[in-house]
Amino acid sequence: MSRMERATFAAGCFWGVEATFRQIDGVQDAVSGYIGGHTDNPTYKDVCTGKTGHAEAVDITYDADRVSYKSLVKAFFKLHDPTQVNRQGPDIGTQYRSAIFYHSDAQKKTAEEEIAALNATGILHKPIATEVMPAKTFFPAEEYHQRYLEKRGMTSC
């Protein structure tokens, strides 16, 4: 029997993040959406104003017997620049911040340990700026954002 769990990550524009996590064996679903703000049911237009406090994020459902949370955190750090504050590439704003929204104390501990370990390697040019915060309400993005790259025959942004 599978142990289904959730993980939620913000790493800039959610299109590429969603596509990357969908390719990991053990990930059952990845949904683009918004988390970490103070407005109920935000729209993409609302979030883009920077006034709702939400981050573009991906909510992942995964089989913990097939892929570990630690493996997902490692993948998260490989797919974006976690040293950037409120931006990824050309995308600038608080909605593009790097964040891990944990669903349990164990996830929080794993995230913090991975940040410390990655910082200790000296591989990155600056310290990790990724926020680690409790997951609150996740609002799925509009349908046209779901599987955005896949629908367009693209594999990355």
State the CATH number of the domain containing residue 36.
Answer: 3.30.1060.10
Residue 138 inside a domain? The answer is yes
Give 132-154 pLDDT, tens digit per residue: 999 999 999 999 999 988 888 87
Residue 74 lies in a domain: yes
CA distance 10 to 57: 4
- Work out the angle between the directed axes of helices 69-78 and 14-22 (0-180°, nearest 10): 140
Structural domain count of the chain: 1
Which residue matches tokens 């998260």?
76
Residue type for 12, please? G
Please give the angle made by the CA atoms of 129, 130 and 136, to the nearest 5 degrees: 145
pLDDT at 107: 98
Strand segments, DSSP code E, in 36-156 are 55-63, 87-88, 91-92, 98-102, 131-134, 139-140
Q: What pLDDT score does 151 carry?
A: 85
Pairing of strands 131-134, 87-88: unpaired
Which of 7, 10, 11, 13 is catalytic? The answer is 13
The more confident residue out of 2 and 49 is 49
Checking if the pLDDT of 7 tops 70, the result is: yes
Asked whether 35 and 8 are in contact (CB, 8 A), the reply is yes
The boundaries of the domain holding residue 35 are 4-151
Within-domain flag for 131: yes
**φ/ψ (deg, to 5) at 7:** -140, 145
157 is catalytic: no
pLDDT tens for residues 70-96? 999 999 999 999 999 999 988 999 999
109-121 pLDDT, tens per residue?
999 999 999 999 9
Residue 61 in domain:
yes
User: What are the beta bridge partners of residue 151?
Assistant: none
Does the pLDDT value for residue 128 go beyond 80? yes
What SS3 state is found at 84? coil
Residue 1: predicted pLDDT: 65
